Structure 1
């Protein structure tokens, strides 16, 4: 089976992922057990990692 999400995100740690949407960065985690995505942060790219 191919992971359909593999092309839209980058892993930032074993627990988190990021995606760029315009000038914004979205940080999130995926819970495979419950089939849920939890949004951790949505912020401008220059501010998201502060």
Structure 2
């Protein structure tokens, strides 16, 4: 992502770090939020 927006890159890195530090790679609040947002984006329930 060399050409990525620096603000977006910082946001992505912070999100990845938060998940890594929590140890919640399968489940947890961040994963649940991602699943819900991705399902909405795809137009499906889950």
TM-score range, shorter chain: under 0.3
Larger relative strand fraction: 1
Q: TM-score, normalised by structure 2?
A: 0.23
Considering Cα pairs closer than 8 Å and 6+ residues apart, tell me whether 1 or 2 has the greater RCO: 1
Query: Quick check: which has more Rg, 1 or 2?
Result: 2
